[in-house]
Structure 1
Amino acid sequence: MELKWLEDFASLARTGSFSRSADERHVTQSAFSRRIQALEAWLGVALIDRSTYPTTLTAAGREFRETAEETVRLLHGSRAALQASARPSPQSVAVAALHTLALTFFPRWFRQVEERTGPLGSRLLPDDFHACLQALVEGGYDFLLTFHHPSVGTLLDPGFFPHRVVGTDSLVAVRSAVLAETDAGLPLLSHARNSFLGRVAAVAQSRGGSDPPVTVHTNENAMAEALKVMALEGHGLAWLPRSLVARDLAEGRLLASGESLPLEIRLYRNAAHRRAAVAAVWQAAEAIADQTMRNANGVD
């Protein structure tokens, strides 16, 4: 049994709509439906009456709703209390980062930070966009490291969660060097529709003006690394961050197709966290970004 199943059920009980709850929970409708079915299988009873529209709860579902909502509330409350008692030390910071940035950006960037701040402890949460956003907002983490594109809003109040642009990347369509392009186009290896990269990739695909490619594989989690492996094996075309595939492009294992879509790399801060280490990282991030811009402009 997973907590997210209970959160899914509570959302569905409130909205009465699989599609609305799937959007709210940032998953595809098919994945959301499977999770509701998994909860029903674990309980051994049907919670949803699927013969009606809008969706209604069965008698068992109505009985279980209060239990599910109370369990979610208690677990989140307990987690918040435990996190409060185990706050990072004054010389440590906690960063939630998208999987790709945790691999391709954070290690080198944090070394540059420590060159300015001195040694720091760090706690890193590599996860999908929704989970990282939640980790920042709920106060368990000091910073969020994420890609940004205007097509995907963060809905964060800048007064409480200011940000700095700390780098750039781009989303590029890649295919294996052994996979030949055809007049019919290449099959698509897709991110989950509601994932961050899935939404940006949809924007990139729409710019082409041609018929959308046939999707042959969808990665239901948010790990772009898995799609990279599928692309390397010749299964189709994948939209991936250039930083993730730079070496494969340089060494000829992957080929880029068409134009890329620029992405910002942003560092969001929980402004309520005012420890010295958090302030030091924030100042260092600004200094690194300024130096990078001066270098790009040829200014010492």
Structure 2
Amino acid sequence: MRLEWIEDILAVADTGSLIRAAERRNLSQSAFSRRIRMIEDQLGTELFDRTRKPVELHPAAFEQYQEMRELALRLRRLAAALGDDSHARTHVVIASQHAITTAIAPAFVQRIAASHDIGIRLRSGNRDECYMQLLTRHSDIMLFYTTSRQPLTIEPGFVELHSIGFDSLIPVFAASCLAGLEADIARGELPVVTYPDEVFFGRVLRDDIRSRIAGVTLRPKAETALTLAALQLAATGTAVAWVPEALARAQIVSGQLADLTPRWGAQSLQLMAARLRAAHSSVAEEVWRAIVSPKRS
């Protein structure tokens, strides 16, 4: 159990309201509700009876109320005795979408490591998972993609955003297998790698890209939530995959992959950095400045 989790639970138990608890914890109600749900998912049980007003702890959780309060107090005292880890620690946790972790984040880490004595811990996930890591303070900074039709729904009063660049979601395919692809297209079919609809790139493919493709029927050959897997499926000639250009650039330059953007178009992606509007450790502040203002870091 993290101290933040215990304090979230106690805030609801003490106020009897998710709204007032969110105010106490300096979060919007929607962000705080998601955090409580995440805590319950992690523990594998519901903690509160939300049908009651005021909201009450379930009996099993209520039995641990005093223990949680005492544990929170002990953890605060321990943090103080150790000099407050939020100021003493020398590492920063960055949560980023899988494709960013592979293709873009290493350059950030290299630049930061070259001029700062700071350790970086990269945590990879889909966009929603990364956002939840940020909200629950499992990460200091989040790196993610967004589009005009697929924005990340955030709590603007509690999350700070900064645009740090652009990328494109492009269609690629094995250069050595283009003749077979042309034969499929001549039959009116386009073999594609798809993403699950519940992940960011799945929604982009469904809402932003498919409507632009005319004259052929899309024939899904494989589905994956990982852009790196989609890239490999395209490289082996299995199907056309839409992947971030940054991820595919090296294989396009080497001639292994063909960029099919002139034929099927691309989707612009905005690269964003986010952090909570809260007090940050000195090292987290250094890394944030290095990411959003690299020329002045």
TM-score (norm 2): 0.65
The 1-side partners of 2:245 and 2:107 are apart by 16
CA contact (8 A) 1:147 1:264 kept: yes
Pairing 1:247–2:250 present:
yes
Q: CA deviation at 1:281?
A: 1.8
Q: 1:69 is matched by which residue type in structure 2?
A: E
The CA deviation string for residues 138-197 of structure 1, in whole angstroms up to 9 with x for no partner, is: 111111111111221211122211111122211001111214322213211101111111
CA contact (8 A) 1:165 1:289 kept: no
Name which of 184, 190, 194 aligns with 1:190: 194
> Structure 1 residues 290 and 164, CA, compared in 2 at 3 Å: closer, same or farther?
farther
Q: 1:127 is matched by which residue type in structure 2?
A: G
User: For residue 69 of structure 1, what is the aligned residue in structure 2?
Assistant: 46
Q: 1:187 is matched by which residue type in structure 2?
A: P
Structure 1 unaligned segments of length 5 or more: list them. Answer: 1-24, 26-66, 292-300
User: For residue 213 of structure 1, what is the aligned residue in structure 2?
Assistant: 218
CA contact (8 A) 2:194 2:241 kept: yes
Pairing 1:226–2:229 present:
yes
Secondary structure of 1:288's aligned partner: coil
User: For residue 274 of structure 1, what is the aligned residue in structure 2?
Assistant: 280
User: For residue 23 of structure 2, what is the aligned residue in structure 1?
Assistant: none
Name which of 283, 290, 293 aligns with 1:287: 293
Structure 2 unaligned segments of length 5 or more: list them. Answer: 1-33, 35-43, 49-57
CA contact (8 A) 2:112 2:118 kept: no
CA contact (8 A) 1:149 1:264 kept: yes
The 2-side partners of 1:289 and 1:237 are apart by 38
Deviates more, 1:158-167 or 1:133-142: 158-167
Name which of 187, 204, 212 aligns with 2:209: 204
The 1-side partners of 2:147 and 2:294 are apart by 21
> Structure 1 residues 195 and 270, CA, compared in 2 at 3 Å: closer, same or farther?
same
Q: How many residues align structurally? A: 217
The 1-side partners of 2:139 and 2:85 are apart by 9
The CA deviation string for residues 193-252 of structure 1, in whole angstroms up to 9 with x for no partner, is: 111111112212212344551212111xx2111111111111111111111111111122
CA contact (8 A) 2:190 2:216 kept: no
User: For residue 154 of structure 1, what is the aligned residue in structure 2?
Assistant: 152
Secondary structure of 2:290's aligned partner: helix
Secondary structure of 2:250's aligned partner: helix
Identity %: 23
Secondary structure of 2:229's aligned partner: helix
Q: 1:267 is matched by which residue type in structure 2?
A: A
User: For residue 38 of structure 1, what is the aligned residue in structure 2?
Assistant: none
The 1-side partners of 2:137 and 2:99 are apart by 22
> Structure 1 residues 269 and 289, CA, compared in 2 at 3 Å: closer, same or farther?
farther
- Spell out structure 1 runs of 4+ moving beyond 6 A: 83-86
Q: How does 1:13-28 map to 2 (within 5 A)?
A: none
The CA deviation string for residues 21-47 of structure 1, in whole angstroms up to 9 with x for no partner, is: xxxx9xxxxxxxxxxxxxxxxxxxxxx
TM-score (norm 1): 0.64
User: For residue 169 of structure 1, what is the aligned residue in structure 2?
Assistant: 167
The 1-side partners of 2:190 and 2:213 are apart by 13
